Every structure is written in C-alpha cells, then in structure tokens.
Amino acid sequence: MAVYTQVSAEVLAAFLTRYDVGELVSAKGIAEGVENSNFLVETTRDRFILTLYEKRVAAADLPFFMALLDHLDAKGLPVPPAIKDRDGIEIQELEGRPACLIRFMPGVSLSHPTPAQALAAGSAMGEMHRAVADFAPTRENSMGVDTWRPLLDRCGRSLDQIAPGLYDDLAAALDHVEARWPRDTLDRVAIHADLFPDNVLMLGDTVTSLIDFYFACTDIRVYDLAVMHGAWAFDGAGRNYDAAVGEALIRGYERHFPLSAEERGLFATLASGACIRFALSRAWDWLNTPPDALVMRKDPLAYMRRLGHYHPALAMRVA
C-alpha cells in the first residue's frame, strides 16, 4: 500500500526505451496492490502500470503468474498482461527488483458491490476457470490447506494477545476443516485465490478487469469461489452476511460451472478453510507489525466471525 522503491524519471525514461511504447509523459507512484511498488506510467502512446516486485512476491513465481495472464488475455478475458519488450521479454529487472510493465485496465474497485455486480463478478470467475482448462503450468498454493497447521504453530499462543482464546478457537476450527477437506475428489485448476472486491475492476455492472494474480496457484476450483464468497458477501468486520450478494456470486459462477452435489455439500468446509487461511495470515501480520507502523493492520477476528457463519458449530467464543 505504498511505494517501497523509488524510480527516478531519468531511470524510468531509459527503462521504457527497451519497449516499443513511446516516450515517458507522466509517472505517479500509486498506493495499491500487495506489497509491491506500483507506478501509473503514461507515454506518448498509452498508459501502463509499472510494478516492481518487493519481497512478498518470489521472483521464481513470476513466470507462472505472467504465463497465466497471457493465457487468459489470449482467450479474451479482461486481465492485465505484462507488455513484452523489443526482445519479447516480460520480466525485467529495475532498481535491483524484478519488474514488469503491465497493461493499464480501466475500472474501479467497489467497496459495497451490489447483487448485480456480484453476479457479474461470479460469472467472471467462472469464465476464468473455463479458460484455464488447457493451461498446463502449475504452482503449489503457498497459502494452501497444508500450510495452515504450520502457520498456526508459528503464531502459537501469541494469538491470544489478539484475543484471549484465539489459539484454541483456531486449532479447533482447523481440526474440523482438515478432517473434512476434500483431497482428491474435486476439480483442481489454476485459481486466483484472492479475488476480493479490491481485485475486480468494474464500470457499472460490468467487470473490466481481474487484477493482482500474485496468489494464483493450482488448487480446488470451488475453493476459489469460496474465498470470493467470504470476501464479497460480508461487511468488513464479518458481522453481517449479505445473502443477496452471496447468492448472486454463486448464481453468476454457475452460469459456467453449476456446482455438483458434492461441491455444494463441501462449500461450507471450503469457505471455512478460506476463513482460517485469512484469519491466520492476518494474525501473523498483526503479530509482526508494530502498532505504530503506518500500514493498516487487517483484523483477524473479521474472519473468525465469518467462520461462525459458515459453521455455526465453530462460532468463535472470542469473536
């Protein structure tokens, strides 16, 4: 949510000569995305996003992300692929960091999507899953089900500094979800894995871009929808479920992939898994971010409350 690496206008103008994109006209550091440095760059021909990848995005994973974006773009889906330089190279180095010049996409991220907007976004996810049927590369989910127990152990009893009883609550939820997690039966494809409203650009009720593919990986297809459901259908604090939005998301998705009986039966487990994943990653960040740092700490308990919605039996004592 900040610019971590500065790029001078002189360095940027020289960088752009690698590409056939015209000359630099304007560059503004922008405050968004995961922990990367982003610039909105205008040239005499077009606009672009320049991204420098900071520590959270592993350079080794960039080829997977960029291949996925190219694949989706080639199929006509609204995603921002990296621009190729004169030698056909997408992943560059700038100021000592991996860097990509990326197509600028119109649209805005909504704070309070309506059911009509959720329907369009759910449908866009379905289209994306259709389009990856023939996408061969794979990437393990670095935040997948098998990483939750080790992350819980690393957080340990420090979790109780966030809310008394949080460690026990999370451990009980994880026992429940792990025991029911579908390991082999459901369809697995390349998923976005983080399709929050932030990562969907829209104009009116039309999706203009899916963005921020930096958690994309190979995992259970309907888990992607479960992540999206938890992110879209609740208020930020996770207290109130908006059934109209939640149902519209699924209805939009089902235009492309009607849920099977097994997927319906497992949806609450997949969504509970998503809640554990975000509660844990937020808790880790919370415990490792100084309270006076100027970054927003996202509340882990907002996902403990969602967990109670999906599995009332797991309703957190602390939330």
- The binding site for a copy of itself (CB under 8 A) comprises 1-3, 8-10, 12-13, 24-32, 40, 42, 106-112, 201, 203, 290, 292-295
Minimum gap (Å) between residue 26 Cβ and a copy of itself = 5
According to the 3-state scheme, what is the secondary structure of the chain? CCCCCCCCHHHHHHHHCCCCCCCEEEEEEECCCCCCEEEEEEECCCEEEEEECCCCCCHHHHHHHHHHHHHHHHCCCCCCCECCCCCCCCCEEECCEEEEEEECCCCEECCCCCHHHHHHHHHHHHHHHHHCCCCCCCCCCCCCHHHHHHHHHHHHHHHHHHCCCHHHHHHHHHHHHHHHCCCCCCCEEEECCCCCHHHEEEECCEEEEECCCCCCEEEEHHHHHHHHHHHHCECCCCCCECHHHHHHHHHHHHCCCCCCHHHHHHHHHHHHHHHHHHHHHHHHHHHCCCCCCCCCCCCCHHHHHHHHHHCHHHCCCCC
Minimum gap (Å) between residue 3 Cβ and a copy of itself = 5
Tokens standing for 195?
């399709």
Nearer to a copy of itself, 32 or 168 (CB): 32
Minimum gap (Å) between residue 21 Cβ and a copy of itself = 15
Minimum gap (Å) between residue 41 Cβ and a copy of itself = 10
Nearer to a copy of itself, 8 or 185 (CB): 8
Nearer to a copy of itself, 9 or 89 (CB): 9
Nearer to a copy of itself, 31 or 60 (CB): 31
Nearer to a copy of itself, 203 or 243 (CB): 203
Nearer to a copy of itself, 114 or 158 (CB): 114
> How many of the other CB atoms lie within 10 Å of CB of 155?
23
Find out whether 119 and 68 touch, Cβ atoms under 8 Å: no
Minimum gap (Å) between residue 187 Cβ and a copy of itself = 33
Minimum gap (Å) between residue 79 Cβ and a copy of itself = 16
Minimum gap (Å) between residue 305 Cβ and a copy of itself = 22
Minimum gap (Å) between residue 208 Cβ and a copy of itself = 9
Q: Is the dihedral of CA 115, 119, 125, 126 positive or negative?
A: positive
Nearer to a copy of itself, 11 or 89 (CB): 11
Nearer to a copy of itself, 185 or 206 (CB): 206
